Amino acid sequence: MPSNSHQRSQQKQLGRLIVLLLFAGSVLNYMDRSLLSVIMPQVRRDLSLTNTDFGLAVNAFLIMYTIFYILGGRIADRVGCWSTFAVTLTFWSIAGMAHSFVQGLRSLSLCRALLGMGEGGFYPAAMRGAAEWSPPENRAKVVGLILSAISVGTLLTPPLVSWITIHYGWRASFLAIGTVGLLLLPPWLLLSRRIPQTDGAYDPASSKTQEPELDTLAEDDLSLSEILRTRKYWCVLTARASTDAAWYFYLFWTSGYFQEVRRFDLAAVGRLLWIPYFSAGVGALAGAWASSTLIRRGLGLDFSRKTVLLASASLCVVGASACFAPSAYLALALVSVALFGHLSWSANIHTVITEIAPPRHVAVLYGITGAAGTLLGASAQLPIGRVIDLRGYKPAFVWAGMTYVLAAMLLLAAGTVERIRRTVVPVG
């Protein structure tokens, strides 16, 4: 029989490998997702699309992403994140490669929809994995690392895709990035053989949580419908959803803004547009480490999370003033501030979702919040495209900044950051 210390050492090593592969999956997820935005002007020109048409294609992705965010969360709660990851990775990589064959708006929208179906289940599964394999004091770090991969993916994509497009055309970019995704599948399948086969409720971090067993049992007894009727959950959901919509604006329209308004050519996009996404990655890690440090110093979960969240939202409001900057480089710096703030915000608000959710509903509740954000982002794309066609980018930037003001107010209205519990009415 192996000793307890040996088991813990093996468990820690396995947890690190899991987080590493979740990080890699997140990088590839966002490379496939953000590829189109980098070469948007070239694709629009070759396929004769307007900004409004581009908004429709983006919507096709976001609508299916919304649906499969919830379905993926439900499946991950039932079968665990490991099988969900393998299936979604394969599907979205093939869907990404199919973009190289599009001929117009219909085929582009179809491929974007298929990409959304494949990518929708990944993050609920990844957050369940983070909740299972990390204790509360380190959970934000794991979430922050997974979210920092978003910026790594979006950071790598502009220079890589620009180079491929300049030398081989934009269709080759979709083939190349999609193929890279499939390379992650073999190591994940090998690792999954070492993971305990469970129904998705396994929690190796549970021994570190220091929560009373009776409380945990009572919380687990809460039904999904009961949780969905609580003010705390809806405030957190809306806070995340509103800022997710702003993130999708930055993700899908930033490259077009700097090419069409700030007069960057494709070479300049490849040379400079990695900077905001690098800043975003630093923000994810900085926000996660900041709140974790405050918790370790005894300042409490609620105070620590909210302090970092409110500071991050403030940075996003400042960064949204990029559209008023007198120079292109100042605008680039302000967009970088906004994305730093957003990923710092995300690292903590995503963690808060796992902290208020009873363990057996973590993935589906996280999935519902993500679906709400994607749905709001999808509903915003067509109006954004029309506004940009008619009024330019300034109204869209102002709207993006104001979403963080609303989110901060909702965060405060949610109350204490703690697990949702059934209200018990005293007898007598």
**Residue 428 vs residue 373, higher pLDDT:** 373
Domain count, the chain: 1
The overall pTM is greater than 0.75: no
Averaged pLDDT of the chain: 81
pLDDT in tens, 241-264: 999 999 989 987 888 889 888 888
Is 8 inside a domain boundary? no
Is 289 inside a domain boundary? yes
In terms of DSSP H, where are the helices of 80-184? 81-98, 105-120, 122-133, 136-168, 170-182
Of 94-108, 338-352, 381-395, the poorest mean pLDDT is in 381-395
**Residue 397 vs residue 40, higher pLDDT:** 397
**Structure confidence at residue 98 (pLDDT):** 93
**Structure confidence at residue 86 (pLDDT):** 83
**Structure confidence at residue 152 (pLDDT):** 79
pLDDT > 90? residue 407: yes
Is 257 inside a domain boundary? yes
Compute the average pLDDT of residues 169-181.
Answer: 90
Which residues form the domain of 398? Answer: 13-190+215-413
Given a contact cutoff of 8 angstroms between Cβ atoms, the answer to whether 286 and 311 are in contact is no
Is 422 inside a domain boundary? no
pLDDT in tens, 49-108: 887 788 788 888 878 888 887 887 777 777 767 778 888 888 989 999 999 999 888 999
How many C-alpha atoms does 370 have within 13 Å on its Cβ side?
32
List Cα–Cα distances, 274 to 42, 137, 151, in angstroms. 19, 31, 9
Is 48 inside a domain boundary? yes
Domain CATH for 91: 1.20.1250.20
Is 7 inside a domain boundary? no
pLDDT in tens, 191-221: 777 665 444 443 443 433 334 333 444 445 6
Is 425 inside a domain boundary? no
Report the percentage of the chain scoring pLDDT > 70. Answer: 86
